[in-house]
Structure 1
Amino acid sequence: MSKYYSIRTKLIAFMLIATTIPLLASISMTFIQTKTALREQALEENKRLIYQASTNLNNYVDNAARASLAVYNDPNFLRNLAKLPGDYRAVAEVYTTLQTIRSAVPDVFQLYLHSFASNQSTLIANPFPKREERKQAYSDSLHGKTGDGNSDIWVESAHMSHTYGFKAASPDDSPRTVITLHRIIRDIPSPERLGVLAIDLNMNSIAAICSRLYDPAKEQIYVVDGQNRIVYQGHSEVQKASNTDHLQRAAADALQDGRAIAGTALDAAGHFEQDHSMYVYQQLGSSYADWTIVKQIPNETLYARATALTWNNAVIAFAALILVIVATLFISIRITGPLKQLMRYMTQIQAGRLHVDIRLSSRDEFGVLARHFRDMMDTVNNLILREYQLEIANKTHQLRALQAQIQPHFLYNTLQSIGTLALQQQGKRAYTLLSSLSKMLRYSMRDQTRVTLHEEAEHARLYLELQQERFGERLEVHMDFAEDTRSAPIPRMTLQPLIENYFKHGADIQPGKGIISITSRRVDEQWIEIVLMNNGPVIPEDRLAEIRKWLQPEAALSDIPQESTGSESIGLRNVVRRLALNSPPGKPARIEMNNIDPSGVKLQVKLYAGE
Structure 2
Amino acid sequence: MYTAILLMIVICLEAYFVSSIRNEQMEQSTSNVRIAEMEASNYIQQLYSNAGNIEYSAYQVEDIQWFLEDSLEVYLKKKIDNYTKSMSIRYYGIDNFVSNLLESETRLESISFLSNANQRLSSYMRDGKTKTTYFESWEFHTIPNKLFRMGQLVVSKNFYDQNGNRNSIGSLIMNYNLNQLSDIAKKYENIEIAVFNSDRRLLFATGDENRLREILNEDGDVTKTTHWEDYLKSYIELNPVSDCWIIAYIPKNLAASIQNLWWITLILIGIALFAMGELFVHLYLKKLTDRLYVILEAMSSASKGKLDVHIDIPNNKSLDELDIIAENFNQMCQDMDAYIQKSYLAEIEQRNAELCALQSQINPHFLYNTLEVIRMKAICNGDREVGRMLYSLAVIFRSQIKEADIITIAKELHYCKKYLELFEYRYHNKFSFEINCPEVLMEKPVIKFVVQPIIENYFVHGIRLEATDNLLMISVYQQGKDIVIYVSDNGKGMTEEEVQRKNEQLKSGKRETGSIGIQNVHTRMRAAYGDAYGVSLKRNEPGGICVMLRFPGEENKNV
TM-score (norm 2): 0.30
The structure having more radius of gyration, on CA atoms, is: 1
